[in-house]
A and B are shown apart, each in its own frame.
Chain A
Amino acid sequence: MDPASILLGGFASGMVLFIVSVGLSVTMGLMGFVNLAHGGFAMLGGYLIVLAMKHWGLSFVAALALAFCAIAAFSVVLERLLYSRLYRAQELDQVLFTIGLVFIMTAAVTLGVGPETQVIRLPDWLRGQTNLGFMTYRTYSLALIVVGTLIMLGLWLGFERTRYGARIRAAVDNRRMAQSMGVDVGRLFTVAFALGSGLAALGGGLGAEILGLDPNYPLRYLVYFLIVVAVGGLGKVSGVFFAALLIGVLDFVLKIYFPKGGTIFIYALTLILLLARPQGLFGKKGA
């Protein structure tokens, strides 16, 4: 079997996982808030993109931009109205609240748009094959790899090279110390939350070609998002990136060689990994 095409295929689905999950990693690392509704924002973003293209005639790129902004804004409203009330609550309460939110999102989408799978009509320049010189491969997968890498670089620079990024890293490492140094963690969280949700929306739209898009999306992929975050380590952008790629490639390879229920190996590997390194592959010890 051709290893290059397996790698490219796996990278492409890994990139989608990365774009959707990175926000979850940051917000969970920052506030310790277990936001199981994160995939819901991805789904809402995906639907917004499909509907904007179908009914308002927006281009794919314009629809992506719209979904990023709209879902980021929407998530801030939810954060201020609902999430902020549960910051000091127990984890179980947070889990119950966010799962409830997922049910509401799923039901709302079923009611408003319908239960069927939504299909994104990609622009012509993203369809078909591209010749890389040494091989030809699916254009859209290559585009996903480029976009995912760009987002990764952008986030990494933002985290490592800006004051805001430094504050976020400080707050993830030691929230109380950061607070006592005058960092407004609440504000920081709102911004990180909006960014994470916006990115999830992008992931929902970009990934629809690969992960599909229907009202059960948030629950179906929840486990994958959580595995990526757990393996990557909380609040570590690069960790989430490599974990997503790892899981994307593994899942792809297992589906090729063990198409019948190959995913069980992913769960088994995650289990073993977390037993050996509870902080994740790339997380810091004791975090």
Chain B
Amino acid sequence: MRVSNVLKLVLVAASFVAAAATAQSQTVRVGVVLPYSGVGAEFAQQVDRGMQVFMKLNPNAFGPYKVELVKRDSKNPSGAEAKTAVQELIAQEKVDILTGFIYSPDAIASASLFTEGKKPAVIMNAGTAWITNLSPMISRVSFSMWHAGHAMGEAAVKNLKAKTAVVGYTDFPPGKDSLDAFKRAFEVNGGKVIDAIPMGGAGQVPDFTPFFQRAKDRKPDVFFVFVPSGDHAVAVMKTYNALGMRQAGIKLVGPGDLTPDYKLQGMGDDAVGLITAHHYNADLDNPHNRRFVETWKKDYGANATPDFMAVQGYDGMAAIAHAVVAMKGRMDPEGTMNALRGWKFDSPRGPIQIDPATRDIIMNEYLSEVVKQGGRLVQRNLGVITAVKDMCKELKEGKCK
């Protein structure tokens, strides 16, 4: 008697739980992991605003389904805080999909949790090439270091006629990746990398003087620098000019991390002549980008400018919206990953697609130069390479095998 009563109660309770679960699945919970405080706080702001702008400009993108963002602070670039946040988002917050991830170590540390917890993750920045190989649950809407690094290595020889190069990089995974990418393309095309200098960590902006001094003394044609954007980039421009490397005839080149659009005007004439390869800058001329930048300036002030991370936040939200609608609000992990494979979108950076084979992004790379126009610094387009895949996985280099 008593046992069957208990059993009944349990069954009733279980059916309630099941009913609640189905009701809940109409609201998709998205875990957002970004460094809202610490050295990357400005990056988090760019990505977060990019997500907001997408939702504002595309209120119907999610169809009849509700999306709830659960935000967590990943603080410093070590990856440890991000992993804790992901654990909590999966176990306690029961999110359906994860996104964000500025720093590569954040994505690398969390990758096993995506696999074990069977939660799809849409990477919005972290650019170390082999991150997508770490889990079948990862897809990336940002870039791989090889996109810009490889393109720049080729352009340095073909467009800038450089024969020798020194590479300076921040000593963490994407830095080494950037070095490998540039070196491979530069040397295949006939150039020679004569020195590679690790320049401190990502967690703080170092004094670049001794590293740049060493690069200057090698007298290369180009100095390829990778730093994690933001304040690092400002310090790079300062040191490059303070040491008179421009006058010494050494061209500064790099991925677009060197020219964060929202800091460009503050860099002043120091930045003129800087040449970058990247997948976005705020001066790109297409209708999607014009609308994006216009909305941004209206919402966040005339002096605010979106940069590549903002667009990645925008595109990441677009990818999630696509998956939510395709899955009719029930985010079954395998189904979600299949929905993301091959997804195409007209982004402010031009047409993009998720490579069905690698789950990494295919997009345009723009070669641009910083010039002064009407008292403002703008990025002048020197050339486009269309539909670029992650060359690390294309060439099966190192850890990308």
A interface residue numbers (CB < 8 A to B): 1-2, 5-6, 9, 12-13, 110, 114-117, 119, 127-129, 136, 138-141, 209-212, 214, 216, 220, 252-253, 255-257, 259-260
A-chain residues with CB within 8 Å of residue B204 when the two chains form the complex: 117, 212, 214, 216, 220
A259 to B213, CA, bound (A): 12
A277 to B267, CA, bound (A): 47
Q: Which of B34-42, B273-281, B380-388 contacts A (4 or more CB under 8 A)?
A: B34-42
Known: A115-B41, A116-B39, A211-B207. A2 touches B217 (CB 8 A): yes
B interface residue numbers (CB < 8 A to A): 37-39, 41-42, 171, 197-199, 204-207, 209-211, 213-214, 217, 231, 234-235, 238, 241-244, 247
Report 24 cross-chain contacts, Cβ distance below 8 Å, ordered by A residue: A1-B214, A5-B213, A6-B213, A9-B210, A114-B41, A115-B39, A116-B42, A116-B231, A117-B231, A127-B241, A128-B241, A139-B242, A141-B209, A209-B238, A212-B205, A212-B235, A216-B204, A220-B204, A255-B210, A256-B210, A256-B214, A257-B214, A259-B197, A259-B211
A-chain residues with CB within 8 Å of residue B207 when the two chains form the complex: 13, 210-212
The total number of A-B Cβ pairs within 8 Å is 76
Smallest CB gap from B168: residue in A? A259
| Cβ-defined contact, A212 with B206, below 8 A | yes
A211 to B247, CA, bound (A): 25
| Cβ-defined contact, A119 with B206, below 8 A | no
A252 to B243, CA, bound (A): 15
Smallest CB gap from A130: residue in B? B244
- Name the distance in Å between B291's Cβ and chain A's nearest Cβ: 30
| Cβ-defined contact, A129 with B247, below 8 A | yes
A6 to B209, CA, bound (A): 10
| Cβ-defined contact, A138 with B209, below 8 A | yes
| Cβ-defined contact, A9 with B231, below 8 A | no
| Cβ-defined contact, B205 with A252, below 8 A | no
In order of increasing CB-CB distance, the 7 nearest A-B pairs are A255-B210, A138-B242, A117-B231, A129-B244, A256-B214, A256-B210, A210-B207
Known: A138-B242, A255-B211, A259-B197. A115 touches B37 (CB 8 A): yes
B-chain residues with CB within 8 Å of residue A110 when the two chains form the complex: 37
